[in-house]
Amino acid sequence: MPSPLDHNASQQLLIALGDPAGIGMEVTLKALASSRLPASLQPVLVGCRRSLMATHARLLQQGITAVADPDQLIIDDQPLEVSVQPGQPTTAGAAACFRWLTHSVACVQHGHGRALVTAPIAKHLWHAAGHHYPGQTERLAELAGSQQSSMLFTAVAPHGTWRLNTLLTTTHLPFSQITAALTPELVEHKLNVLLNFCQRFRPDPHLVVAGLNPHAGEAGRLGQEEDTWLSPLLKRWRQEHPSVRLDGPIPPDTCWLSAAQAWNQPDGSGPDGYLALYHDQGLIPVKLLAFDAAVNTTLELPFLRTSPDHGTGFDIAGQGLARPDSMIAALQAAWDLTAA
C-alpha cells in the first residue's frame, strides 16, 4: 500500500472523491474545515491531487475561505489520465472515480482506515464507461465478496439525540420489478438487519414496517401482498422477538408521520427504525425531513461505508455553491458508527 497510508489507521477515514466533474471535491474540502468534526479524525483522500489543488484554488478565488488546504491533508494520489472540468461530466471522469472507489476499498480491506466515505458518482456515466452496476453499493458488495448488502439512511435530529433510521428492502430497481423482488425471505432478512443496526442504540427498539399498497392494501381491495404474506410474516416475527415493538404494515402515506412529528421537537423521539419496501418509498420522507443531515450507510459489508445523501450536482459544480452539511454528516456517522 502507498506510504501516505502508513499512519494510525484507527483514526483514519478513507474518502473516495467521486466524479471529478461533480461537487465531491468541493464538499469534501468544505466539510474537512468544519469544527463539528472530531479533532482526532485523519481523512485520507483518494483521488487526483492536481484536481483537488485546482478545486481549492478556485474556492479561494470565489471568496470561500472555510476550506481545508490539500497541502495539509493525506492524499492517496490517483491522477486523472485526462483533464476533467467541473460541470462537464465525461466517461473518462466516471472511469476515474470507479478506479478511486476500487482502490479505496482495497485500502480499507488492508486495514488502512476504520471506514469508507464515498462522494457521489453518476450511475449513467459508469454505465457509459462500461461499468454496469446499479450504484456504488453493488460494486462495494462485489469487492467485499458479500452476497448481500443493505442500504440504510440515518440522520440525527437537529434538536436532540434521536436518530431517524430508514432501511430499504429493495434499492435501485425499476418499479415494475419491485413486487417480483419482494419476498417474505427478503423482508424478514432486512428486518433483522434493521434490528441489529438499531440495537446499537437501544436493546429493545421500536420498529415500523411500511405497507406496499395504498392504505396497506385496505383489506385486500387495493392489493393482496399485505394479507397474503406480509402481515402473517410480521405477526410471526413479533412472536419471535417479544422485546421489540413492531408496528406494521402501516399505510405508506402515514408511515413516517411519527418521524415528522419528532424531527423538529426539542428532545423529540420517534421510532428507532423504519423498513421501506422500495427505494422512493423510503427516500421521499427521508429527504423531505433530513436532506442535509441524512447519510447513506451500507450495511452487511466487512467494513462500514457512508455517503452524502445527494448526487453529483453537475449543474452547480465549480460555482462554490455546494453545501457540505451532508458530507459532514457522512464523515461524522462513519466516525461514530465505528467507535470502539
For residue range 148-186, what is the model confidence (pLDDT) as tens digits?
899 999 999 998 889 999 999 998 889 999 999 999 999
Residues 160, 163, 166: CA angle, nearest 5 degrees? 150
* Tens digit of each residue's pLDDT (9 = 90 or more) over 291-338: 889 999 999 999 999 999 889 999 999 999 999 999 999 999 999 999
Where residue 340 falls among pLDDT bands split at 50, 70, 90?
Answer: low
Burial of 2 (0-12, 13-18, 19+ CB in 10 A): middle
pLDDT higher than threshold 60 for residue 4? no
Q: What is the mean pLDDT of residues 3-15?
A: 75
* Rounded Cα distance, 313 and 319, in Å: 11
Query: Which CATH number does 150-299 carry?
Result: 3.40.718.10
- Inform me whether the pLDDT recorded for 272 exceeds 80: yes
Which residues of the chain form beta strands (DSSP E)? 12-16, 42-47, 74-77, 115-118, 150-156, 163-168, 206-210, 245-250, 273-276, 295-299, 305-308
pLDDT digits (tens, 9 = 90+) for 180-215: 999 999 999 999 999 999 999 999 999 999 999 888
**Residue 113: which pLDDT band, with cuts at 50, 70 and 90?**
very high
**Do 1-148+301-340 and 150-299 come out as alike in CATH topology?**
yes
Residue 59 pLDDT greater than 60, yes or no: yes
Residue 17 pLDDT greater than 70, yes or no? yes
Query: Using 50, 70 and 90 to split pLDDT, how confident is the model at 51?
Result: very high
Q: Which three cell numbers stand for residue 277?
A: 419496501
Q: Dig out the grid coordinates for 119 from the structure.
A: 462522494
Q: What is the pLDDT of residue 3?
A: 41
Helix (H) / strand (E) element for 195: namely helix 184-198
Q: What is the mean pLDDT of residues 96-122?
A: 96
pLDDT band at 1 (very low <50, low <70, confident <90, very high): very low
Per-residue b/e over 125-152, b at no fewer than 16 CB within 10 Å?
Answer: bbeebebebebbbbbbbebbeeeebbbb
Q: What is the pLDDT of residue 9?
A: 76
Which percentage of the chain shows pLDDT scores above 90?
A: 84
Q: Residue 213: its pLDDT value, please?
A: 87
**The pLDDT of residue 7:** 60
What pLDDT is recorded for position 6? 54
CATH superfamily of 1-148+301-340: Isopropylmalate Dehydrogenase (3.40.718.10)
pTM: 0.89
Q: Could you tell me the three cell numbers for 295? A: 447519510
Of 191, 298, 286, 166, which Cα lies nearest the Cα of 244? Answer: 191
Alpha-carbon distance 311 to 27, whole Å? 11
Q: Which amino acid is at 238?
A: R
Mean pLDDT for 245-264 is 95
Given the C-alpha cell 455546494, which residue does it identify? Answer: 322
Sketch the domain layout of the chain as residue ranges: 1-148+301-340, 150-299
Res 337: pLDDT: 93
Per-residue pLDDT, 268: 79
What's the full length of the chain, in residues?
340
Q: In the prediction, which pLDDT does 5 show?
A: 56
Confidence of residue 2 (pLDDT cuts 50, 70, 90): very low
Q: What is the pLDDT of residues 86-101, one digit of tens each?
A: 999 999 999 999 999 9
Q: Report, as an integer, the average pLDDT of 120-143.
A: 93
Distance separating alpha carbons of residues 281 and 275, to the nearest angstrom: 10
Residue 311: Cβ within 10 Å count: 15
Other CB atoms within a 10 A radius of the CB of residue 226 amount to 23
Summarised one tens digit per residue, pLDDT across range 303-315 is 999 999 889 999 9
Q: Say how many Å lie between the first and final Cα of the chain, rounded.
A: 25
Give φ, ψ of 45 to 5 degrees. -90, 125
